């Protein structure tokens, strides 16, 4: 099918080159020591157009860990298994002015703000059914399905690094357990969260994830196995209000699209009913969002008038 709104290679190349030096103003995450080894100069941009064709520029072979972007996949599975009401009884639909690793209102309201911040995400993964690492395996398999890429694995060094240093996340788990939101063995449930964050993908895999949620959970090649307009609407709404953490409000103003970032340097964007966009560059801004990634998405969205508020 001919797609007149399709993004072409030249557009992506121009936008990428314009933003190639942005990484100098950012900083690669090193609070998880293994992430600090990333090459700050890596940069990539990818689009899955409406008809499912993929166009990409830059370091498209470069793998990076999905990090917080895995939270939208975990939310999808947890809601499918438990129903939306059960999940959102235990956490809010609230936006946030707080960083991703903030305890939010765990103390005051007793529940996480939303499933996009670490607390809510750890709880979401803990609500996926299954013993031991089964919940993680479900997340991995869903990512393999959406990207149609059976080679996707998790990075063991990053996983170990998260596990060794993730004491804040551990603290959140135990407050939620104290509040009666979770039971069971903390380390087992946290390990699933640490593993899901360590799943390695490329920018094209990530653009396919954006496309999936932009298209009612239909895969870029037309596979309708998980078709569910209500679910994609829920996930995109969470991406819009909290996918970029405390920057989400300003991002809604400047980009205006459901998006999710991760501290590995990836950002995935859903253009509802149209395309999936992904950017990668590991140097982050003060909110933990990819600096060059944001700039590239901003330029592309502006050039093509893609904001949902247009």
Q: Return residues touching ligand GLN (CB under 6 A).
A: 67-68, 100-101, 118, 162, 169, 197, 262-263, 288
Least separation in angstroms between CB 58 and ligand GLN: 21
Closer residue to ligand GLN in complex, CB, 99/249: 99
Closer residue to ligand GLN in complex, CB, 218/242: 242
Least separation in angstroms between CB 5 and ligand GLN: 31
Token match 């975990």: residue? 74
Q: How far is CA 183 from CA 57, 76, 180, in A?
A: 45, 21, 7
Give the C-alpha separation, 100 to 286, whole Å. 11
Closer residue to ligand GLN in complex, CB, 41/165: 165
Tell me which residues are annotated as active site: 68, 71, 193, 245, 263
Least separation in angstroms between CB 155 and ligand GLN: 12
**Secondary structure (DSSP) of 222-267:** ---TT--HHHHHHHHHHHHHHTTGGGHHHHHHHT-S-EEE-TTSEE
Closer residue to ligand GLN in complex, CB, 288/293: 288
Q: Are 29 and 288 in contact (CB under 8 A)?
A: yes
Residue 227 φ/ψ region, left for φ over 0, alpha for ψ in the -120 to 50 degree band, beta for the rest: beta
Output phi, psi for 48, to 5 deg.
Answer: -105, 110
For the record, the structure tokens of 91 come out as: 């956490």
Least separation in angstroms between CB 53 and ligand GLN: 29
Give the C-alpha separation, 136 to 183, whole Å. 17
């Amino acid at each position: 099918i001919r797609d007149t709104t399709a993004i072409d290679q030249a557009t992506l190349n121009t936008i990428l080159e314009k933003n190639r030096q942005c990484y100098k103003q950012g900083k690669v995450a090193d609070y998880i020591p293994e992430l600090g080894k990333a090459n700050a100069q890596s940069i990539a941009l990818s689009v899955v157009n409406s008809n499912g064709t993929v166009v990409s520029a830059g370091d498209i072979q470069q793998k990076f860990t999905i990090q917080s972007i895995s939270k939208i996949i975990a939310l999808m599975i947890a809601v499918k298994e438990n129903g939306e009401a059960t999940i959102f009884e235990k956490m809010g639909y609230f936006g946030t002015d707080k960083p991703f690793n903030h305890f939010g209102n765990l103390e005051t309201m007793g529940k996480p703000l939303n499933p996009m911040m670490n607390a809510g995400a750890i709880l979401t993964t803990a609500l996926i059914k299954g013993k031991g690492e089964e919940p993680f395996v479900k997340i991995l398999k869903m990512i393999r399905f959406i990207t149609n890429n059976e080679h996707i694995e998790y990075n063991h060094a990053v996983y170990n690094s998260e596990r060794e240093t993730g004491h804040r996340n551990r603290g959140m788990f135990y407050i939620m357990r104290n509040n009666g939101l979770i039971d069971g063995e903390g380390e087992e449930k946290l390990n699933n969260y640490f593993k899901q964050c360590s799943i390695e993908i490329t920018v094209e895999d990530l653009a396919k994830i954006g496309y999936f949620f932009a298209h009612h959970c239909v895969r870029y090649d037309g596979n309708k196995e998980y078709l569910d307009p209500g679910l994609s609407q829920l996930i995109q709404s969470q991406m819009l209000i909290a996918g970029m953490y405390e920057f989400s409000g300003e991002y809604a103003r400047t980009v205006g699209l459901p998006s999710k970032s991760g501290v590995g340097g990836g950002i995935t964007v859903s253009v509802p009913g149209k395309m999936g966009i992904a950017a990668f560059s590991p140097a982050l801004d003060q909110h933990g969002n990819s600096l060059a990634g944001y700039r590239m998405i901003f330029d592309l969205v502006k050039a093509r008038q893609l904001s949902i508020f247009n």
